[in-house]
A and B are shown apart, each in its own frame.
Chain A
Amino acid sequence: MARIFAPLVLVILLLLGAFWRTSGRPRADLVIVNRTEVSTLDPSQLSWQHDFRMARLVYEGLTRQDALDPNLAILPAAAESWEVSADGRVYLFRIRGSAKWSTGDSLGSDDFVAGWQRMLLPDAAADYLTLFHLIEGGQEFSQWRATALQTFTLDPERRGDAQAAAQLWQETLTRFQGSVGVKALDDRTLEVRLIHPVPYFLDLLAFPAFVPQHASTLESIRSIDPRTGAAVWASIWTKPASLVTNGPMRLTEWRFKRGMRFEKDAAYWDASSVTLGSIDVPTINDPNAQVLAFRSGAADWVSDVSPGYRGDMIAEKAAYWMEHAASIGPLLRAGANPIEVDAALPADPSNLVHVLPSFGTYFYNFNCGPTLPDGRANPFADARVRKAFSICVDKQSLTGNVRRSGEPVAHTLIPPGSIAGHVSPKGLMRDDAAAAALFAAAGYTAGAGFPEVELLFNKDGGHDLIAQAVARDWARALGVKVRLVQKETKVFSADLKAGRFMISRASWFGDYGDATTFLDINRTGDGNNDRRFSSLALDRLLDAAANQSDPFLRSGLLAEAERVLIEDECPVLPLFHYVEVSLFDATRLQGLGAHPRQIQDLARLRVIPRSRAQRAAAP
């Protein structure tokens, strides 16, 4: 007996002991729960909201936004000043002399050139490569490199030859220097030439894709793969030990699927404005555990409550606001944002739930191509049909009864109030009679002769419930038959990209503070134009806006473009604008902004320690 189990028990104890690491470090000043693991801190690979949020902690671009300003005003950051040429196409940035990397090296203009060059290389596979096409020569450069890599791989003479690959790399560097409009004029002066005036360029520069990248680190971890000729940057560089950053905080610990720890960076030029010493960001995927972590006091902020919890939380919150309506009215009229209102109201568990607008819209795509995937003529190529389908949906009941997540009904593609200076049109209101009339005018009186409608959506996320409600509205108002097609997410996106659908669910989140972030995806041939929509009128308006340097005239053109899109052409049917439901105590956590773009200055938040009394009162 002992002969069998003694060694077994010994092995178990030894292994347990060997793998056990105790962590006796104190709790950070701020603990934020992330629902999903941050996928990367490599500026070229960023693509998710939570990645950007963390990237803003550790990196700083030439500019940054004032998170508490209702218009997200631009502040100088790594650049202390800039000049813009009269035609709005050439920017000259002066990099701050006190700007430093976390290693203590000074930040120079060549770090921006190195970072942006990497963004433009197809080798780095940046999701936001196209934003850099605004730079003179950028698009031509990245396309040239892509072709050169393809030729290299197909060439049996050069493929696998390290020397040939290195030669191609040298050629690429020379080409970049000679043709792309970003140059280090001296250590601290950066010149950027744009293809046309970009009024939102300073806002774009605050976007983490435009941050500097430590030139010598990039150099040291880059190798050229002789099999493809492409540059490869070793993944080691974003680990805490080797990551070099220039933001208010630096990454000190990153345990995969467990969380990250950030600490104040003393080398940061504006360190005196950084109020927090440390931030912990545990990854908690389970909805239950997220809420428990907040309620037990282990976390200060759950930024994105899982959908399953939202309905009840929002209902309680709404009841609480109703109860205090008398005191909320004057606060809102005085210009307080919802977070400030909550901070002023009496403490209550419902007061910890916050429903804030977000920079995204949930909508349906109509396939606008001339034919359907099976070769039949596409009835949705007719704008009247799309419009008829658009104006007979009961969006109010959809958000109020089906979703119950506090989302506002959408009549426009751009969330209202999210872009300073942009005035969205009113959009189309529900009118079943007009819908039936339009449908009849298109030749389908009461649905006669109209093919069975297929509505494509992906699994999970409650898309099925929305689809059922909308399909019922269509059937009732237009007399059409609707078939619901639910697919696995990966299959769904493949179908979407290939245009294999009649109507599909979709969503879009804006990236920067300009209407084009929502409108450009409807241009003819745009890589994200899943609708295969093509309108000469819209393309012309967007082109005219791109070349218009007068901000007033430009915003008029963009407003007209959105009106054409959602009132005349209707390739998209906006259903609701997303909200973010978060949990935090507004009296303890101060400095979070309520702007739909959800840009937060986390390093400069003020956190009032939880007192014993508050802990007792916590739900």
Chain B
Amino acid sequence: MIRLLLNRLVQMPLALLAVYTITLLLAWVVPGNPLEGPEGRRPPPEVVASMQARYRLDSFAGFYTSYLADASGFSQLTSIGPTSGPFFDLGPSLQYPDRTVNEIIASALPVSMVIGLAAVAFGLVVGIVAGTLGALRPGSFLDAATFVIALVGVSVPTFVTGTLLQWVFTVNWAIFPVAEWGRPRDLVLPAVTLGLPTAAYIARLVRMGMIEQLASDHVRTARAKGLSEFRVITHHALRNALLPVISFLGPALAMAMTGSFIVERLFVVPGLGQHFVNAVQNKDLFLIIGVVLVYATILMLMNLAVDVLYRWADPRIGSV
């Protein structure tokens, strides 16, 4: 276990470096000057020149090394840059001159984490219950119903389900508010919208696992011992059926927590997802790299957490 952790923690910076290099290369070759807006008065040439010098946008090599030094904390350790900034300094935002990328991520990430966790929690509860119910009587009406719901959840895009939920619950019934964020009830619709595909996927995973488990020898043995059906299902069948769910949780959490552009836009949620799209459109170089690095870090940490959880849940894996 410790070897796994150490291994991964050593790999992480290398993987991040690769992510950084590829992202910066791609963002750099996109045409257009990030310092100029599409419309309106152009800044005079001397201003553009001084800005390019300040942000080191005049040379790829210069930008590559100085950004790397700032973002990795190297500048802080060796105090070659401004010493007042944060340790991992992801730079200024070119689009929002009053914000640094650190500030933008610090304000958006918690929002995305809340909505992502709520969505995955919703997905877990609904998915496990629906999957188990379906597996108990394969081919029954209940199974067909959960199958249809799962199919809809996976195949209908979030902008359709989101708009539908919004239309029903905010326009027609006025149960939930429009475009507000800050109270628990503001979370419900976006979390359900974002969690539906997760719920659907988990339901299918659990159903398949359960059907296999329920037909297995150890479940027959458990039943023969005279255990209650509930105990057989929860302690013997479900436990094993959930293993694939755990491995799915890592990417699902990372995906949900870094936000969804569409859900955020529909429900006016101030999360991280919008920055993925907007930063690229605005060629906000610092923000692009910042969100990609944060996303990559979260994804790696989640995968690591899942691996740890997996070994913990199934001791056989650790010994292999």
Please indicate whether A and B come from the same complex rather than being unrelated chains: yes
Which of A's residues lie within 8 Å of B, judged by CB? 1, 3-5, 8-9, 12, 15-16, 19-23, 37, 39-42, 45, 47-48, 122-123, 125-130, 142-143, 146, 149-150, 153, 223, 225, 227-228, 230, 232, 234-235, 238-239, 255-258, 282-286, 288-290, 292-293, 296, 298, 458, 488-494, 497, 507, 509, 511, 527-528
Q: B179 contacts which of A16, A127, A143, A292 (Cβ < 8 Å)?
A: A292
Which of B's residues lie within 8 Å of A, judged by CB? 30-33, 35-47, 49-51, 53-54, 81-82, 84, 92, 95-100, 103-104, 107-108, 110-111, 113-114, 117-118, 120-121, 124, 163, 166, 170-171, 174, 177-184, 234-235, 238-239, 242, 246, 265-268, 270, 274, 281-283, 309, 312-313
Question: In the complex, are the beta carbons of A149 and B50 less than 8 A apart?
Answer: yes
Alpha-carbon separation in the docked complex, A41 to B46 (Å): 23
Question: In the complex, are the beta carbons of B179 and A128 less than 8 A apart?
Answer: no
Question: In the complex, are the beta carbons of A125 and B171 less than 8 A apart?
Answer: no
A571 smallest CB distance to B (angstroms): 17
Q: B38 contacts which of A19, A228, A489 (Cβ < 8 Å)?
A: A489
Tell me whether A296 and B43 are in contact in the complex, defined as CB-CB below 8 angstroms, given that A19-B113, A42-B97 are known contacts: no
Closest partner residue, chain B, to A458 (CB atom) = B38
14 additional A-B pairs beyond A127-B40, A128-B41, A288-B266, beta carbons within 8 Å, are A4-B313, A12-B121, A15-B113, A15-B117, A16-B114, A22-B182, A39-B96, A129-B43, A223-B82, A283-B270, A288-B166, A290-B179, A490-B32, A507-B39
Q: How many A-B residue pairs have CB under 8 A?
A: 202
Residues of A contacting B282 in the complex (Cβ-Cβ under 8 angstroms): 490
Residues of A contacting B266 in the complex (Cβ-Cβ under 8 angstroms): 286, 288-289
Tell me whether A491 and B234 are in contact in the complex, defined as CB-CB below 8 angstroms, given that A143-B46, A225-B54, A256-B99 are known contacts: no
Residues of A contacting B54 in the complex (Cβ-Cβ under 8 angstroms): 123, 225, 228, 230, 232
Tell me whether A39 and B171 are in contact in the complex, defined as CB-CB below 8 angstroms, given that A1-B234, A16-B117 are known contacts: no
Alpha-carbon separation in the docked complex, A22 to B281 (Å): 33
Residues of A contacting B42 in the complex (Cβ-Cβ under 8 angstroms): 497, 527-528
Tell me whether A125 and B50 are in contact in the complex, defined as CB-CB below 8 angstroms, given that A4-B312, A284-B179, A298-B179 are known contacts: yes
A4 smallest CB distance to B (angstroms): 5
Question: In the complex, are the beta carbons of B53 and A228 less than 8 A apart?
Answer: yes
Tell me whether A39 and B43 are in contact in the complex, defined as CB-CB below 8 angstroms, given that A1-B235, A4-B309, A230-B54 are known contacts: no
- CB pairs A–B below 8 angstroms (20 shown): A1-B234, A3-B312, A19-B111, A21-B182, A39-B97, A125-B51, A127-B43, A129-B47, A130-B44, A223-B82, A238-B98, A256-B103, A282-B180, A285-B274, A286-B266, A292-B179, A493-B36, A494-B32, A527-B42, A527-B44
Residues of A contacting B183 in the complex (Cβ-Cβ under 8 angstroms): 22-23
Q: B37 contacts which of A16, A47, A283, A292 (Cβ < 8 Å)?
A: A47
Question: In the complex, are the beta carbons of B270 and A256 less than 8 A apart?
Answer: yes
Question: In the complex, are the beta carbons of A39 and B31 less than 8 A apart?
Answer: no
Residues of B contacting A488 in the complex (Cβ-Cβ under 8 angstroms): 31-32
Residues of B contacting A123 in the complex (Cβ-Cβ under 8 angstroms): 50, 54
Question: In the complex, are the beta carbons of B121 and A235 less than 8 A apart?
Answer: no
B26 smallest CB distance to A (angstroms): 14
Tell me whether A293 and B178 are in contact in the complex, defined as CB-CB below 8 angstroms, given that A490-B38, A492-B38 are known contacts: yes
Tell me whether A45 and B182 are in contact in the complex, defined as CB-CB below 8 angstroms, given that A19-B113, A284-B268 are known contacts: no
